[in-house]
Amino acid sequence: MTAPDFRFSYPVATVRACAAAVCVALTLAAAPAIADSPAADPVIARVNGTEIRDSDLQLADQIVGRNLPTHDIAERRDSLLKMLIDSTLLAQVAEERKIIDDADIQRRISHARNQGLMNHLLTVVAREAVNEESIQKAYQDIVVKAAENEPEVHLRHLVFLFNSSKDDAAVKSAEDKAEAALKRIKSGDDFAAVVAELSEDPVTKARGGDFGWRTKPEMGKEYADLAFTMKTGDVSPLIKTGVGWHIIRLEDRRNRKPVELDKIHDRVAALVASAAQFDLVEKARAKANIQRMDGSGAATPNSPKD
């Protein structure tokens, strides 16, 4: 006889994670309450008299909510509440059956508490580090200074394509067309006009071959090797790539303009927060007396510095 298949409607790993969230809530029960009053933290469920409050649900959402398959707020809340109810109920059943492994429970609570305290500390440190002054400084140090030392060029290009570099006939046909176009340009024809007439790149053809401002990493090696040696107004010889024959014209060069701060404000703020968190961890490690007992059995102490 096949054993019945008992399954929850959500992953077991998620249930376990939620149970850990409950442990954190219980372990930190002595800390100041999140809500100012019972009215601000209403009871949303009772399991055999044990209350589950809205703050418990919020905590579970912070820890395991991102692992849920749904983004619908109502479904997410319902799933989390079911997890909290089940974890509370099964904990009661475990106590009734007297199958509690106190040592294991304490280890789990200790681990969950450490994780909770660590995450809260990192959140506080990040919040304290991020302000307009620190964001502006990071923007200047990371974005502006990098742009000052990074040249970029403004190019136009003319393209003649072939389907395969192994098709000799197609490669030769594209080369012949490119040589004819280059001859016209050297004879005085306007580069943009020749592009509008002959180029096989549909993206840039309509704008006279304008390839925009590019740094070396933003273009292929074949272009970069020539473009950054050219002078303004120069037209290159034929350039062969894996897709065709190309001619480029250097329109201008400059040091790269940094992206405006308001366009990357949140990203810079995240960098400031991450840097503060990293600095905290590094300083804590440097001051701590850490001993690791690795596979060799030898202790590797990290003695605190004076």
The 3-state DSSP class for residue 225 equals helix
C-alpha span between 204 and 93 (Å, rounded): 70
Residues 202 and 99 in one domain: no
pLDDT at 11: 43
Q: What percent of the chain has pLDDT over 70?
A: 83
End-to-end CA distance of the chain: 69
The rounded distance, in Å, linking the Cα atoms of 48 and 98 is 17
Closest CA to 109 of 21, 11, 30, 18: 21
Where does the pLDDT of residue 302 fall: very low under 50, low under 70, confident under 90, or very high at 90 and above?
low
Say whether both 72 and 174 belong to one domain: no
Residue 71: per-residue pLDDT: 78
Q: Give the range among 30-39, 79-88, 220-229 with minimum mean pLDDT.
A: 30-39
| Cβ contact 81:52 at 8 Å | yes
What average pLDDT score do residues 160-175 get?
A: 94
Contact 200, 244 (CB under 8 A): yes
Domain count within the chain: 2
Which domain-ending residue is among 128, 161, 188? 128
| Same domain? 183 vs 100 | no
Same domain, yes or no: 93 and 179: no
Is the model's pLDDT at 150 over the cut of 90? no
- Bridging pattern class, strands 244-255 and 151-161: antiparallel
What is the per-residue pLDDT for 295? Answer: 57
The predicted structure's pLDDT at residue 37? 56
Same domain, 193 and 243: yes
- Taking alpha carbons only, the member of 123, 133, 143, 126 closest to residue 263 is 143
Q: Is the predicted pLDDT of residue 66 greater than 80, yes or no?
A: no
* Over residues 79-104, mean pLDDT: 89
